[in-house]
Amino acid sequence: MTRAVLKAHVERAVATVQVTDIHTHLYDPAFGDLLLWGIDDLLVYHYLVAEAFRYMEMPYDTFWALPKSRQAELVWDALFLQHSPISEACRGVLTTLNALGLDVKKRDLPALRKWFRNQKPDRYITRCMEAAGVREIYMTNSPFDDQERPVWENGFKRDERFKAALRIDPLLLSWNDASKKLAEWGYKVSSSLTPKTISQVRKFLADWSRRMDARYLMVSLPPDFAYPSLNTCNRLIEEVVLPHCREFNLPFALMPGVRRQVNPQLCLAGDGVGRCDMMALNELFSRHPDNKFLVTMLSRENQHELCVTARKFRNVHIFGCWWFTNVPALIEEMTRMRLELVGLSVTPQHSDARVLDQIIYKWKHSREIIARVLVEKYEQLRLTGWRPTREEIQRDVEALFGNEFKRFCGQS
């Protein structure tokens, strides 16, 4: 097997593997307008809004008061016309438009809008998933979202391509408000974590895990997350969430490192990043060997420690290059670090897409980088005299893009 043949095998396997996208903010079509798609939603993605504000003098509130189409035009002007769209989020818009067969060099926003107006949502979902090579999309589902909750309560026919993940940030990070909501919904909870309250919060998680057929529970955590600690968040994790996950055989997905609203005037774009204490997470994993933890961290500085932690705890599964690490420079660095330290028992990427069409660029960009790193790794094997077969390469690639995640979760 020559280097060229090996390279071709790896590139073809990565280019064609059908992806399980294990964390997004997309929705089953039954959720209607909650599923964002089209050129204006692509342009007002909070990544682009944050970048556009750097060129705009207007007060934040003036921008937020504008209709979405006008916001999109301001972003288009600032980031695509007045300056070349070099950033990853800008390039992503163009990659997606180009993959859909649209001519970006015309820079004709009205023509782009006209094309999207002619798309039909259901057919367009299939078109985007096929263009991205995505076979399953894991949503972010919150009972605390007032638009989303009634859709679940009324029931709907599931689109099997969309799986649910039960997101519980408000429960763990804003307990006082969340406990009031649970009481409104009929759970016999008080603000103090009495045995009765603990059992009722367990019932809340059980009800929603069943209602959604949730495949994992998820929470994002601040950089100063401490463990062990007697604070409410820790008690809820210890006494409610982890026992629930063991009972339902569900992983608990942790996303540490987000400092919410460092600039509140940017709204959804206003969150920042901070380095976490990895020893706190090591202690959590160590004390709960019967729980499974999916983990992605927001700070670049935590990435190496996370790989070492995954070597120590087989109940930890690393996933994705999350948010501010989802840029080529760090995707390459993190993927190489993970393959070299943890091998193939990781899930290198998730899209975190908020707008359906984004899965096209997020996966195209990441496949190219992951393929490049894999070619290097298999070539290094070839130079030792090892000969990976084409079937083994296919097996390994399918593991990285979803199968290892499913094996870890104990789900088919």
Residues making contact with ligand HDL (CB under 6 A): 25, 140, 220, 255, 268, 323, 352, 354
| Beta carbon of residue 194, minimum distance to Zn ion (angstroms, whole number) | 33
| Residue 41 contact, options Zn ion, ligand HDL, none, Cβ 5-8 Å cut-off depending on partner type | none
| Beta carbon of residue 127, minimum distance to Zn ion (angstroms, whole number) | 23
Q: Which is nearer to Zn ion, 187 or 323 (CB)?
A: 323
Is residue 18 within 8 Å of 134, Cβ to Cβ? yes
Largest CA-CA distance found in the chain, in angstroms, rounded: 67
Is residue 107 within 8 Å of 73, Cβ to Cβ? no
Q: Which is nearer to ligand HDL, 25 or 372 (CB)?
A: 25
| Residue 299 contact, options Zn ion, ligand HDL, none, Cβ 5-8 Å cut-off depending on partner type | none
- Which phi and psi angles does 135 have, rounded to 5°? -100, -25
| Residue 354 contact, options ligand HDL, Zn ion, none, Cβ 5-8 Å cut-off depending on partner type | ligand HDL
The amino acid at 95: T
Q: Which is nearer to Zn ion, 10 or 321 (CB)?
A: 321
Residue 301 tokens read as 């500085």
| Beta carbon of residue 382, minimum distance to ligand HDL (angstroms, whole number) | 36
| Beta carbon of residue 142, minimum distance to ligand HDL (angstroms, whole number) | 10
| Beta carbon of residue 25, minimum distance to ligand HDL (angstroms, whole number) | 6
Is residue 213 within 8 Å of 162, Cβ to Cβ? no
Residues of this chain that interact with Zn ion (CB under 5 A) are 352
| Residue 268 contact, options Zn ion, ligand HDL, none, Cβ 5-8 Å cut-off depending on partner type | ligand HDL
Residue 64 tokens read as 């937020």
User: What residues contact 9, with CB distance under 8 A and at least 6 apart?
Assistant: 390, 393
* Strand intervals (E) in 63-169: 134-138, 162-167
| Residue 305 contact, options Zn ion, ligand HDL, none, Cβ 5-8 Å cut-off depending on partner type | none
Using DSSP, state whether 317 is helix, strand or coil.
strand
| Residue 402: DSSP 8-state | I
Q: Which is nearer to ligand HDL, 124 or 322 (CB)?
A: 322
Q: Which is nearer to ligand HDL, 72 or 165 (CB)?
A: 165
Closest CA relative to residue 339, chosen from 377, 305, 304: 377
Residues forming a β-bridge with 258: 273
